[in-house]
Amino acid sequence: MNKVEKFLRGRFASALVAVIIGFAVAAVVLVAAGYDPIASFGALLSGAFGKPKYISNVFIKATPILLTGISVAFAFKTGLFNIGAEGQYILGTVLATVVGCSLNLPMPLQVPIVLLSGMVGGALLGAFVGWLKAKFGIHEVITSIMCNWITFYLCNFVVMSDAFHKPNSTSAVPVNPSSYTILFGMWKKSEAGKQFLAGIPWLREILLKTDLSAGFLIAVVVAVIISIVLKRTKLGYELRAVGLNRDAARFSGIAVERNIVLSMLISGAISGLAGALSITGTSPHTITLLAAMEGYGFNGMSVAFIAGCAPLGCIPASILFASLIYGGMSVQQAMGVPSDIINIMIGTIVFFTALPGIAPFFANKIQRRREAKELASSQGIERA
Amino acid sequence: MDNFILLLGITLMYSTPLVFGALGGVISERSGVTNIGIEGMMVIGAIAGAAGSYFTGNPWLGFLAAGVCGALVALLHAVASVSFAADQTISGVAINMLAPGLALFMCRQLFEGAAMTPIATKLPKILGEDGLAGTPFANLNVNVTTVIALLFTVIMWFVLYKTKWGLRVRAVGEHPAAADTLGINVYRVRYICVLVSGMLAGLGGASMTIAIISQFTQTAISGHGFIAMAAVIFGKWKPFGAYGACLLFGFTQALVILLGGGEFVIPSQILSMLPYVMTIIVLVIFVGRSVAPKADGIPYVKGSR
Amino acid sequence: MEVSPEFAVQMHGIVKKFGAYTALDHVDLDVRKQTVHAILGENGAGKTTLMNILYGLYQADEGSVYMDGKEVSITSPTEAIAHGIGMVHQHFMLVENFTVTENIILGDEVCGAAGVLDMRKARKEVMELVEEYGFDVDPDAVIQDITVGMQQRVEILKALYRGAEVLILDEPTAVLTPQEIEKLIEIMHDLIAKGKSIIIITHKLKEIMQSADECSIIRRGVYMGTVDVKNSSETELASKMVGRNVNLTVEKTPAHPADVTLSIRGLTVKDERGIEQVRDLNLDVRSGEIVGIAGIDGNGQQELVDAICSLAKATSGAILMNGQEIQNTNPRNVLNHSVAVIPSDRHRWGLVLPMMVEENTVLERHGEDMFGKGIMLDYEKLHEFTSKLIESYDIRPAGCEEERMSGLSGGNQQKAIIARQVSYVPDLLIAFQPTRGLDVGAIESVHKTLIAERDRGAAILLISFELDEVMDVSDTIAVIYHGQIVGTFAQGTVDENQLGLLMAGGEAK
């Protein structure tokens, strides 16, 4: 086996091939629609990485989808399809907002409580779906979708309710500033901070022009923890065994139903955390009236699939997708290309990650060609 | 009485797109391919129908275009799940991501950046525009798509249970290896069923945008495909069962509308949850009693039996 | 052998490779017209592959096929059917929720205009076939409601309906009672008399002696020759098949049963549909003895095992392990009572195939402190533990601790399960179909392990659909029929015919 073949049989290659095909399909669509694909991709790139603040924004965008990505990946590793990350995310934002604007404790207390309430929201919703599956055998995909829409309307209900509606707006009351997880939030606006930052323009741009928060760091920590749980703990072992062969797990005395609920609970909590961090980390620090699904859960699924459902793999995958989504907005501004092209691209990428044989398919071709060559040469030797 | 007629009329109206979607689900799953992508195929049908009707001025051409475009999207799913033995759930999910993006992209492309189409010509009602106007039965002058949906249900029942094609489809969904050893081309049967599934879903999308409303909007299809899938399970993978299930879901939608406009003070957001809550409740009650086709969702790979 | 019209089928120099692995290496087969030709070989020897090539399911890499002296090319089942070849697969190819008639006509339907089924005419055609061959089959019955023997006859009818002249039967007796086997042999001779030719794939020597005229032997993909059955013996066939002298009997010393370990009293178990599958069943298993349960598949064996494991609910009765009730608890509790089970379907119940071998060997006991403190799982300890099992049970390939379980052969997977179950030093070892799909060598090793465990003092409950296995290995033989134990015998006090009658619901003579 030569190096190219070995690479093509690896997991990274499948992701790479899918991404390349995603760009290729997008290019075809762009050409068909009369746009210049090279210029569009150029605009995409500079829109994502052209300035320090763009890069900062990419990381801000990556935070929720990294977490929902880990959430989906974790569930998938345990044999469950958490298409409900979207709803769990929304419920996370709702509960974080409700708690964050009702309570006003000192920051070291307030932040954990607000984040925790978001996690509890997502966890309960996830556990409910898990329970429906464990107890009644209802496929989690359908119930998750239903729950997504229920939380969607619940969010709008809370936004419009007398208790939380912010008058003359389409949003709820923002959470108290003690809930913010923005990095150096107080210091960067102080005189000392301003003076210090004046000397370092790129840092000044990042800190003052974007909501850079602790979110991404927290998400990375979550990725590491979940990776360890899956690979090195008894819990992770049981969850994987249940996911890979439910019957054998049951036969071996593993409590299958409990593990299904537990898995969805953990998965939901991670998505809920994503929602809570969006509230505490980015303005307007509250929930607004939703017109359509925001897509954090669905983009999380893309992140998870391209990462082969490895929690650590979600980190680069989330940065990739965040840069596509964030950079895509500049493509619309600069080139007039509808930003939906990005969704087409992401959908294509996920579609091709679903095809298990796509990279190995090329590997097989190379192998066959090599074998044919070897055969030909060996026959040549025999004849000689 | 008036309320009853109104309720019945709205029930029939809102169940129609679901019926198309659910029939699509039935045919695909009966052949052994899970089709979570119904939602996406409905979205594509929705834009194709509205745009087709707008540009040609003929809603029937729009309807046709919706079926063709739905089938084209389904082709992707067929290639992935039949030829490549891919994870059918992931493939379906990918289609559900791709389709709305594609639909909106096309929409903005065709209509100068707008996220909705202009008003398109609608398909007729069964008794013409003013069929029963003035009588108490005005609301029963349903869309022609409602009748087409019922007709398709009958046809699918007949094909599945009374013809050799149906016998083969059911055999492929239950025991593909058995069908294969008798010379039935499992792949071809599944391809055809998935394509028909996409066509039906496409028609379902169009029956929303050029029969119920008269344009494509971003939220025209919002979870209908998934409710249709729940109807497939609730209806035990049978055409008439699915039809009945869709009527039930249409009924909850009608309740939302009636209660929303009535004297009850229920916030509209809470009412909007009703169809989704109802779906979960129905599934809890019925899912244990409903048995899926044995090979549903399992890729068939020759030689692995 | 020369190509000649005397032969119904001739396959010459057949080579089939799967990747680097050569499944068939220049195999020959010559089936005379109107004879029963057996193909003998161990599991994995290539018998079924050869037949799948004849039936067009696989394509040979080299070699030719002749029928009636003319070369033919068969690239799909459709072409095989057109050439008059019919195949009855080991795992029946029947759609369970279809009727007999629907299954028979599938793919060759009786239709009116525009593909509309004419079920009345179809039923009539099936009836005519049933009467012509004197089969006892109801054309309107649904497959899942009829016995395995009847299902097999439906499979034969499927082939005859398509005008088969050559019938391939793949391991046709694996699931039948001795009486049903006799009936099948009768049917086979009847078909020969009506002009058909039959190829039967089997690894059971006795049936070859009873039914076949000639027998071709394949060993690990290599053709070992064809023998005239009349002038041969079981021992000769066996040594040709395995390549060494085989001890056909199981060697063991007399049992020394002690106290009752497992006691089942009046056990009744219902399946999901509410039908009683185990009814008022009583059974004792003592430490130091092997109790074998003989019976046909579907007579409550699965439900009995499920109830003991607390996977199925006992609606009445008690299951006592060392005097303590364990019914209707949970699998974990049953394990804690020192019960180990070798499940019947190792892929479904026994292994998590995508996981590593070292993860599979601790499936039940990963929670124990010896595999890691607190919440952590110590993979070094798993590795160490697994290495020991691999060595003492000769699981191959050596050093496979971190390989995926799916990469091991069936026999080695089964060894891994047995090693795992025996590693608990259980008081009760339940072995449900422990040798299913294994070759002769592996079967021997499984039986030896069971006997060694018995001699250690464990109580062994062996449940098998292979009557020979039950008769050879057990100290006490119990027969299960319709969820009840209908007879219990000490080894050597009962013969095959008596057991067969009981298994089929008759009275023992």
The pLDDT value recorded for residue C481 is 92
Domain that holds residue C406: 356-424
Nearest partner of C428 among C333, C296, C340, judged by Cα: C340
A83, A139, A296: best to mutate for the B interface, most B CBs within 10 A: A139
Domain B2-129+138-289, CATH: 1.10.3470
* Residues C143, C35 share a domain: yes
Classify the C-alpha dihedral C81-C84-C90-C94 as positive or negative. positive
**C370 contacts chain A (CB < 8 A):** no
**C1 contacts chain B (CB < 8 A):** no
Nearest-by-CA chain A residue for B84: A355
Q: How far is C480 from chain B (nearest CA, A)?
A: 29
B96, B97, B102, B287: best to mutate for the A interface, most A CBs within 10 A: B97
Q: How far is B146 from chain C (nearest CA, A)?
A: 27
Task: Choose the final residue of a domain: C242, C265, C284.
Answer: C242
Q: What are the structural domains, with CATH classification, of chain A?
A: 63-319 (1.10.3470)
Instruction: Assign B286 a pLDDT band (cuts: 50, 70, 90).
Output: confident
* Cβ neighbours of A239 in C, within 8 Å: none
CB contact under 8 A, A305 and B272: no
* Cβ neighbours of A250 in C, within 8 Å: 311, 331
* Residues C449, C414 share a domain: no
* Cβ neighbours of C379 in A, within 8 Å: 232
CB contact under 8 A, C330 and A240: no
Decide if C271 is inside a domain: yes
Q: Which range, B59-68, B91-100, B221-230, has the best average confidence (pLDDT)?
A: B59-68
CB contact under 8 A, B284 and A351: no
Helix axis angle, A314-335 to A37-49, nearest 10°: 120
CB contact under 8 A, B171 and C106: yes
Task: Choose the final residue of a domain: C198, C213, C242.
Answer: C242
Q: How far is B80 from chain A (nearest CA, A)?
A: 6
Decide if C344 is inside a domain: no
**Range 142-201 of B in CB contact (< 8 A) with C:** 162-165, 167-168, 170-171, 174-175, 177-184
* Cβ neighbours of A233 in C, within 8 Å: 375-377
Q: How far is B223 from chain C (nearest CA, A)?
A: 33
Number of independent structural domains in chain C: 3
Nearest partner of C217 among C233, C201, C194, C196, judged by Cα: C201
Please tell me the number of Cα atoms within 13 Å of A28 on its side-chain side: 9
CB contact under 8 A, B279 and A142: yes
The pLDDT value recorded for residue C345 is 86
pLDDT tens, residue by residue, A71-106: 999 999 998 989 899 999 999 999 999 999 999 999
For β-strands C459-464 and C276-286, DSSP reports them as unpaired
Share the mean pLDDT of chain A. Answer: 88
Residue A68 has pLDDT above 90, yes or no: yes
Strands annotated E in C19-61: 21-32, 36-40
Instruction: Assign B288 a pLDDT band (cuts: 50, 70, 90).
Output: low
Please give the structure tokens belonging to residue C305.
């095992």
Residue A185 has pLDDT above 60, yes or no: yes
Q: How far is A2 from chain B (nearest CA, A)?
A: 25
Q: How far is C73 from chain B (nearest CA, A)?
A: 16
* Cβ neighbours of B32 in C, within 8 Å: none
Sheet of C484-490, strands arranged across: C339-342, C428-432, C459-464, C290-294, C476-481, C484-490
Instruction: Determine which of B97-101, B288-292, B297-301, C275-279 has the lowest per-residue pLDDT on average.
Output: B288-292
**C83 contacts chain B (CB < 8 A):** no
Name residue B180's amino acid.
D
pLDDT tens, residue by residue, C263-277: 999 999 998 778 899
Q: How far is A380 from chain B (nearest CA, A)?
A: 35
Decide if C42 is inside a domain: yes
* Residues C410, C382 share a domain: yes
* Residues C177, C53 share a domain: yes
Nearest-by-CA chain A residue for C343: A251
A333: buried, middle or exposed (CB in 10 Å: 19+, 13-18, 0-12)?
exposed
* Cβ neighbours of B89 in A, within 8 Å: 81, 141
Please tell me the number of Cα atoms within 13 Å of C135 on its side-chain side: 26
CB contact under 8 A, B105 and A344: yes
The pLDDT value recorded for residue C219 is 87
* Residues C443, C317 share a domain: yes
Q: Is residue C109 classed as helix, strand or coil in its secondary structure?
A: coil
Cα distance between residue C358 and residue C333, in whole Å: 24
Q: Is residue A132 classed as helix, strand or coil in its secondary structure?
A: helix
pLDDT tens, residue by residue, C53-104: 999 988 999 999 999 999 999 998 889 999 999 999 888 899 999 999 999 9
* Cβ neighbours of C335 in A, within 8 Å: 252-253
Give the number of A-C residue pairs with CB atoms closer than 8 Å.
Answer: 65
* Residues C455, C407 share a domain: no
Q: How far is A254 from chain B (nearest CA, A)?
A: 23
The pLDDT value recorded for residue A370 is 65
CB contact under 8 A, C77 and B174: no
Q: Which of B105, B277, B284 sits opposite A136 (nearest CB)?
A: B284
pLDDT tens, residue by residue, A123-164: 999 999 999 999 988 888 889 988 999 999 999 999 999 899
**C59 contacts chain B (CB < 8 A):** no
Q: Which of C364, C372, C376 sits opposite A253 (nearest CB)?
A: C364
* Cβ neighbours of B237 in A, within 8 Å: none
Please give the structure tokens belonging to residue C136.
């006892």
Q: Is the confidence metric ipTM above 0.90 for this complex? A: no
Q: pLDDT higher for B196 or C502? A: B196
pLDDT tens, residue by residue, A254-276: 999 999 999 999 999 999 999 99
Q: Which of A241, A248, A251 sits opposite C309 (nearest CB)?
A: A251
Cα distance between residue C131 and residue C144, in whole Å: 22
CB contact under 8 A, A234 and C359: no
Please state the rounded mean pLDDT for residues C446-464.
94
* Cβ neighbours of B36 in A, within 8 Å: 141
Share the mean pLDDT of chain B. Answer: 89
Instruction: Determine which of A362-371, B293-302, C326-335 has the lowest per-residue pLDDT on average.
Output: A362-371
DSSP letter, residue C457: T
B205: buried, middle or exposed (CB in 10 Å: 19+, 13-18, 0-12)?
buried
* Cβ neighbours of C341 in A, within 8 Å: 251
Cα distance between residue B165 and residue B153, in whole Å: 16
* Residues C503, C384 share a domain: no
Nearest partner of B67 among B221, B196, B225, B202, judged by Cα: B202
Decide if C350 is inside a domain: no
Q: Which of C52, C87, C117 sits opposite B163 (nearest CB)?
A: C117
Residue C5 has pLDDT above 80, yes or no: yes
Percent of chain C scoring above 90 in pLDDT: 61
- CATH number of the CATH domain containing C475: 3.40.50.300
Task: Choose the final residue of a domain: C200, C220, C242.
Answer: C242
Q: Which chains touch A (3 or more CB pairs under 8 A)?
A: B, C
What residues does C29 pair with on adjacent strands?
C11
Classify the C-alpha dihedral C394-C400-C405-C409 as positive or negative. negative
* Residues C322, C232 share a domain: no
Residue C40 has pLDDT above 80, yes or no: yes
* Cβ neighbours of C361 in A, within 8 Å: none
Please tell me the number of Cα atoms within 13 Å of C383 on its side-chain side: 6
Decide if C328 is inside a domain: yes
Q: What distance lies between CA B222 and its chain's CA centroid? A: 12
pLDDT tens, residue by residue, C467-479: 889 999 999 999 9
The pLDDT value recorded for residue A383 is 41
**Range 22-41 of B in CB contact (< 8 A) with C:** none
* Residues C271, C174 share a domain: no
Please give the structure tokens belonging to residue B272.
């909007």
**Range 256-315 of C in CB contact (< 8 A) with A:** 309, 311
**Range 157-216 of C in CB contact (< 8 A) with B:** 158
pLDDT tens, residue by residue, A11-41: 678 888 889 999 999 999 999 988 999 999 9
Supply the pTM of this predicted model. Answer: 0.86
* Cβ neighbours of A227 in C, within 8 Å: none
